[in-house]
Structure 1
Amino acid sequence: MNAPAWLPRFRGPLHDARTATVVGRLLGIAVFLCFLTGVLSHFLQEPPAFLSGHLPTRPVSGYRITQALHIISGVAAVPLLLVKLWTVYPSLFQWPPVRSVTHALERISIALLVAATLLELFIGLLNIVQWYPWPFGFRQVHWALAWVITGSLLVHLGVKAPTIAEHWRRAPRTSAIGAGRPTPDSADADRRALLWGLAAAVGAVTVVTAGQSVTPLKDLALLSPRDPDVGPQGLPVNRTARAAGITAAAVRDWRLHVDGPRPYGLTLDELRSMPQHSVELPIACVEGWSKSARWEGVRVCDLLARAGAADGARLRVVSLQTRGGYGVTEMDSAYTRDTLTLLALRLNGEVLAPDHGYPARVIAPNRPGVLQTKWVTRLEVLV
């Protein structure tokens, strides 16, 4: 069961089951929180059929909170995972690597767990800065890896349950266990020092990244890719009008088309002449940044009622954009009947800037930022 001779040797007292269990508990909390909030995010972006009409629009900042927790727990998991791997090394490289069929299944589950978790965190960190140096779709792979991690983790916990139970609580203090060997007291002291250092590392990476969504920490967000105060009209953007292929001609000739039982079209002036409403709602993106703003515009439910649509009709929203994803999105009936859902024309008291979706954009409560469609040109009622 020893590691091959060519591998570095670590004989410190903290490469033991007790330390691995303590760090594993902390890592498990971070992974569980990251997984749970990731599932919520996925369901809000791609609602399964059984949730149709039941997506929650309250609290209005729900997605802002859960996605911030997703990013924070994912970032915090990085130092936790590295320390966890350090505590179990060189057990990861046992020799011979396989001793029986049961042992082979255990080793495969560990290999899948370690590889999938490392890859999941790596691509998740690159997604935060919107850098995609791979040929596959991030969201699909990120979602699939989450389930690989979950399955392999359950197998691993099942195999290691006796060891985890044995070392879940601290062992009673005893006398020295041999000349030249550390006593339980000294091992506990070393373990506490390691855990304090780990807590400092987790706290540091959290403080310097969480400010993009946690407003009180914004001045400390040294490593955050987004400053929530920097952007047109004091609000960040992920995709500019130029990047989306929005041309001056398309905006100049803009009309809103509403397709339903009684289809109609509106110029911008006609849209502005309709009753205007003001709401305070956050824009919250999957990368983790978010900020609240004051939006003004026409209620989507009023636009649909004018088209003869039934209350709570589902909606397809079409953008002018010619480049990038989410040019066409769908809106669940829970959003279309909510009076806070607007086709916004103004932001923080000013006409929408081009990068924020001029002439009109969607803003809805508790909705992912990628679905808050900009440069809206058509609303299509779905039966």
Structure 2
Amino acid sequence: MKIPTEQSFRSALHHPRVAVVIGRWLGVAVAVCFLTGLFSHLQQTTPGWLVIPSRPASLYRVTQGPHVLTGLVAVPLLLAKLWTVYPKLFAKPPWPPSRQALGTVLERLSILVLVAALALELFIGFVNTIQWYPWPFPFRQTHYALAWIIVGAMLVHVAVKLPLIAANWRRTPEPLPAATTGMTRRTLFRTVAGAGALVGITSAGQSVRALGPVAVLAPRKPGIGPQGLPVNRTAQDAGVTAIGADWRFTVDGPQPLSYTIDELRGLPQNRSDLPIACVEGWSQGARWEGVRIRDLLRLCGAPEGSRVRVVSMEQGGFYATSELPPEFADDPLTLLALRLNGSELALDHGYPARIIAPNRPGVLQTKWVHRLEVLS
């Protein structure tokens, strides 16, 4: 059996121009996905030198949705990109060994790292959207580390291929397709773009209500769930099965506070129209009512600019506690919410009380709250 060579693949669809065009699309998707993912990571692990503002209130919603969307769209783009360049696998390295041969080896190693990391990143990102974790390593930290590996490998790849990219950046005359296929380059571009658009349309419905009926790739849809709002982590999953009659909400501050649920309802109530925007990409606006966190801080005599630790009744889990930086704790939209969409919180939505704040990931909108701790 004759082993094919790079010259065996003469189809116009393997032309460098095709790889450059699809590579541009993939590069844009990866760049948007990386930058929005970086913002999400910094929201959850904020370094001391960085201040994340609480406004615009829906900023996290309009960044995390595109993060997941571009990650999904990158899948058909990556497959198309690999298909256009796979004949390079059959290229013979220069012989005898030389600097050029060493450069070829390094180039192929960088491509191996790039493709392997990108494929793994897209896979674990997708299964995260359906909350399936068949691995022993922590998802968020691994996802973050892989993102930097991808960026580094991509920069190396672009640097090595820059002359070829520059030569094929502009439109070139369409060569005749090989006899083995009736598809032209333009048809291929339209097919790949259509596949990406189809993936986007069938997944964006988890945030865009109008696309809900065709959102076959969306694990959650707006309006479906208790009180018309989807739920990621149920009370049963969190180990919160019942709230006893002796339940009390406390604030550990200069002047400790303690309230029953009826006493909380007797405090001045405020309303915030804010979305729940989750790291899995879905989001939905809702109407929340409850007590402003900043009012509770003033009642307990907390100094201005205090940080607040929020403690849940959740049993275990990575987000049984969260912190509200001063910018969020003092924002008038940040509530200890007691009601959702006009009725008392359902247990799955955090009854008897939960946090709702602007521009925050859903995992930090802590449910089943029973204590606030004022931090210096």
TM superposition score normalised by structure 2: 0.93
Partner of 1:127: 128
Secondary structure (helix, strand or coil) at the match of 1:242 reads: helix
Partner of 1:179: none
1:71 aligns with 2:65: no
Partner of 2:303: 310
1:228 aligns with 2:222: yes
The equivalences for 1:95-174 within 5 A come to 95-96=92-93, 100-171=101-172
AA at the equivalent of 2:81: K
| Aligned-residue offset at 1:101 | 2.6
Partner of 1:276: 269
Partner of 2:44: 45
1:242 aligns with 2:236: yes
Name structure 1 gaps, 5 residues minimum: 177-181
Secondary structure (helix, strand or coil) at the match of 2:251 reads: strand
Given that 1:4 and 1:95 are in contact with CA atoms closer than 8 Å, whether structure 2 keeps it comes out as: no
Distance 1:188 1:24 in 2: 23
AA at the equivalent of 2:21: V
| Aligned-residue offset at 1:12 | 1.6
Partner of 2:281: 288
Given that 2:336 and 2:353 are in contact with CA atoms closer than 8 Å, whether structure 1 keeps it comes out as: yes
Tell me the alpha carbon deviations over residues 204-243 of structure 1, each in whole angstroms, 9 at most, x when there is no partner.
1111111101232222212210012111000011111111
AA at the equivalent of 2:127: L
| Aligned-residue offset at 1:82 | 0.4
Root-mean-square deviation (Å): 2.2
Number of matched pairs = 368
1:199 is aligned, of 185, 188, 193, to: 193
| Aligned-residue offset at 1:123 | 0.6
Secondary structure (helix, strand or coil) at the match of 1:252 reads: coil
Tell me the alpha carbon deviations over residues 49-71 of structure 1, each in whole angstroms, 9 at most, x when there is no partner.
111xx212111111111000001
Given that 1:209 and 1:224 are in contact with CA atoms closer than 8 Å, whether structure 2 keeps it comes out as: yes
Once the two structures are aligned, what percentage of the paired residues are identical?
58
Given that 2:9 and 2:87 are in contact with CA atoms closer than 8 Å, whether structure 1 keeps it comes out as: yes
**Distance change >3 Å, CA 188–CA 304, structure 1 → 2:** farther
Distance 1:191 1:212 in 2: 33
Given that 2:11 and 2:177 are in contact with CA atoms closer than 8 Å, whether structure 1 keeps it comes out as: no
| Aligned-residue offset at 1:87 | 0.4
AA at the equivalent of 1:113: L
Given that 1:10 and 1:89 are in contact with CA atoms closer than 8 Å, whether structure 2 keeps it comes out as: no
AA at the equivalent of 1:20: A
Partner of 1:30: 29
**Distance change >3 Å, CA 354–CA 314, structure 1 → 2:** same
Distance 2:316 2:231 in 1: 15
AA at the equivalent of 2:215: A
Distance 1:15 1:216 in 2: 38
Distance 1:190 1:15 in 2: 11
| Aligned-residue offset at 1:183 | 7.4
Secondary structure (helix, strand or coil) at the match of 1:280 reads: strand
Distance 1:253 1:323 in 2: 22
Given that 2:93 and 2:104 are in contact with CA atoms closer than 8 Å, whether structure 1 keeps it comes out as: no
Partner of 1:261: 254
Distance 2:336 2:322 in 1: 14
Name structure 2 gaps, 5 residues minimum: none
AA at the equivalent of 1:74: G
| Aligned-residue offset at 1:311 | 2.3
Partner of 1:16: 15
Tell me the alpha carbon deviations over residues 282-325 of structure 1, each in whole angstroms, 9 at most, x when there is no partner.
00100011100000000000011111112231110000011432
Distance 2:299 2:68 in 1: 41
AA at the equivalent of 2:43: L
Distance 1:22 1:233 in 2: 46
Secondary structure (helix, strand or coil) at the match of 2:12 reads: coil
Partner of 1:331: 324
Farther-moved stretch of structure 1 (280-289 vs 96-105): 96-105
| Aligned-residue offset at 1:253 | 2.3
Partner of 1:83: 80
**Distance change >3 Å, CA 262–CA 206, structure 1 → 2:** same
Secondary structure (helix, strand or coil) at the match of 1:49 reads: coil
